Amino acid sequence: MKYRKIRKTPLTVSEVGFGLWTVSTGWWGKFTDAEAIALMRKAHDLGVNLYDAADTYGNGKSEELIPAAFPGMRDKLVIATKVGYDFYNHGGERKGQREIAQDFSPKFLRFAVEQALKRLKTDRIDILQLHNIRADQVSDDSIWSTLADLEKEGKVISSGVALGPAIGWMYE
């Protein structure tokens, strides 16, 4: 496995990561927790250290799988997760890519990060991504100052944006 250093951070990540979307949502077939954990551990055995989750994947399930798969191994992992979809108030079981309400307010971002930290059973998120944020929201300085504050507090090491074409960001 090849690894890369993420600039301006102490993080070194595998060039291949393990995305938890498929194993935590049930949208492309069902995976038991045992099957998901076995896949995650096999990837780690092959050198993968980057695990990419999102709070909305399986309504928190993707984040819960990481500490279940790797108890006591936090410092051997680079954990990336995404926030911004408010499944807490607009959730329920989803089938397919039906979008739910988004919230990138400072209050919600802090809430979502705290909830993710609990599910991940950790004190920090290595890479926090704003999940499919829209172009008109990117210029909101309060979002970026909140992320900077979370980094200063040590709750987040690095932050950025995750975009996906299936939800219409290309029109922007």
Catalytic residues: 57
Structure tokens at 149: 């504050």
* Cα(144)–Cα(3) distance, integer angstroms: 28
* Cα(146)–Cα(105) distance, integer angstroms: 9
DSSP, residue by residue, 48-111: --EEE--TTTTTTHHHHHHHHHSTT-GGG-EEEEEE-B-HHHH-S---SS----B---HHHHHH
- The answer to whether 100 touches 94, Cβ cutoff 8 Å, is yes
